[in-house]
Chain A
Amino acid sequence: MSQWKNFSKGFFKENAVFVLFLGLCPTLGVTTSAINGLGMGLATTFVLTMSNLVVSLVKSQIPDKVRIPSFIVIIASFVTMVELLMQAYVPALFEQLGLFIPLIVVNCVVLGRAEAFASKNNVISSIIDGLGMGLGFAFALTILGGVREILGSGSIFGFKFIQGDGMLVFVLAPGAFIALGYLIVLVNKINKKTA
């Protein structure tokens, strides 16, 4: 597999959210606006790339039976780093995302990639895989956040183009499920066409 394919698979073919249905909690929870989705996606990308890098570096030194706990510790440390850094430099976004930042640690995408990819591949491929899957995840969250923001608040990235409220339901919980449902149909269609 070429590295380009390795990188780009995360966007459509193996998109964590739209195709594999992983990491759904933050996907639904934080995407009330495009900027929140993007912020969450980038935070996850950082954790995913760094943990992939470290896991692929130490994979041969870790006994098989304590593999998962070690991975979890590695991931949890990077999550805590993100927490600290965000609190220090982007406190507003940190507050918006709230509980979902520490919850990156239980995002199935991160542990899934560490176990399924980084523990079997070399460092370079693992970094590219982490970047690709992470940015694909960020891409999905930004799209979903954008759709919900456009429909729900009549704005995009905070730029208001419709006066008034828009369809509030899309900012509320039910809208998250409904918007994601339709987006999955759409991505399925696109994937079928390109396949």
Chain B
Amino acid sequence: MERRLKMANKKESTFISMVLTLFLVTFIASAALCYLYELTKGPIAASKLAKLNTAIMQVVPEFDNAPGEESFKIDVDGGTLEFFPARKNGELIGTAVSTFTNNGFSGNFKIMVGFLPDGTIHNISVLEHKETPGLGDKMQKNKSDWSVQFNGKNPVDFKLKVTKDGGDVDAITASTISSRAFCDAVDRAYKAYMEGGQK
């Protein structure tokens, strides 16, 4: 009982006790976090890789290599594009390009475009975006099949601009800016792909 009373009394706030307490609390906290960080490092890397692989698989034909390990980067205006070559039996059958645009309705967004070796667009998936839910987010496959119109088109004779700007792409209703930005990202990937992306 007496001990409990003592315990209930708050420790006095002397300079040393304050410094010591703060030091101990931060020390224990950091130690615990470092331990957990080491523990989760593997799973985090694995889930990131799995996500990357799914994104690549969605946009290029079936492959049997590991595109994530053969990736290379090309610098373009305002950023870097990452290329993931997909091969089957050693032959290049397509390349997934992680590309971006800064002209989105809410800033930049990233998409993954899959090209066949001749530059034809195979498929496109959205990696991350902040476009308006219900409007701009229709570029996602699970929200609408708007982006399907790019599949099988070759930018040589398919102008990567919305119809309003004289191109061949039907914009998402009420989301011309998102659609324009989407075209901008695809166009950036296509140009870089044709200029040295076919490895």
Residue of B with least CB distance to A89: B43
- CB < 8 Å neighbour of A84 from B7, B30, B44, B132: B44
A8 interface residue per 8 A CB criterion: no
Instruction: Indicate whether B89 reaches chain A with its CB closer than 8 angstroms.
Output: no
Q: Looking at the complex, which one of A61, A77, A85 makes contact with B11 (CB distance below 8 Å)?
A: A61
The secondary-structure label for the interface of chain A is: helix
- Chain B interface, >50% SS class: helix
Establish whether residues A172 and B21, one from each chain, have CB atoms under 8 Å apart when the complex forms: no
CA of A165 to CA of B160, assembled, Å: 27
B1-37: CB near A (< 8 Å → 1, else 0) gives 0000001111111100110011001100110110011
The answer to the question of B135 belonging to the interface, with a C-beta cut-off of 8 Å to chain A, is: yes
Quick check: B47 and A63 within 8 Å, CB to CB?
no
Is A162 part of the contact surface with B, judged by Cβ < 8 Å? no
Asked whether any CB of chain A lies closer than 8 Å to the CB of B51, the reply is yes
Docked-complex contact B40 and A63, CB < 8 angstroms: no
**Closest CB of chain A to B48's CB: distance in Å?**
7
Contact between B11 and A62, CB atoms less than 8 A apart: yes
Please measure, in the bound complex, the distance between the C-alpha atom of A168 and the C-alpha atom of B17, giving whole angstroms: 56
Q: Contacts of A166 on B, CB cut-off 8 Å?
A: 134
- Report the minimal beta-carbon distance from A170 to chain B, rounded to whole angstroms: 9
Query: Given A63-B13, A63-B17: A69 and B22 within 8 A (CB)?
Result: yes
Are B11 and A88 in contact, CB atoms less than 8 angstroms apart? no
A-B contact count (CB 8 A): 83
Q: Chain A, 111-127, contact with B by CB distance < 8 Å: what is the 0/1 string? A: 00000000000000000
Size bin of chain A's contact surface: 20 to 34
Q: Which residues of B contact A (CB under 8 A)?
A: 7-14, 17-18, 21-22, 25-26, 29-30, 32-33, 36-37, 40, 43-44, 47-48, 51, 128, 132-135
Q: Besides A61-B11, A84-B33, A88-B43, 4 other CB < 8 A contacts? A: A65-B13, A81-B36, A168-B134, A172-B134
Q: List 24 A-B contacts (CB under 8 A).
A: A32-B133, A60-B7, A62-B25, A63-B17, A63-B21, A64-B10, A66-B18, A69-B22, A70-B22, A73-B22, A73-B25, A73-B29, A74-B29, A77-B29, A77-B32, A77-B33, A80-B33, A84-B33, A84-B36, A84-B37, A85-B40, A87-B40, A89-B47, A172-B133
User: Which residues of A come within 8 Å of B, CB atoms?
Assistant: 32, 58, 60-66, 69-70, 73-74, 76-77, 80-81, 84-85, 87-89, 91, 95, 152-153, 165-166, 168, 171-172
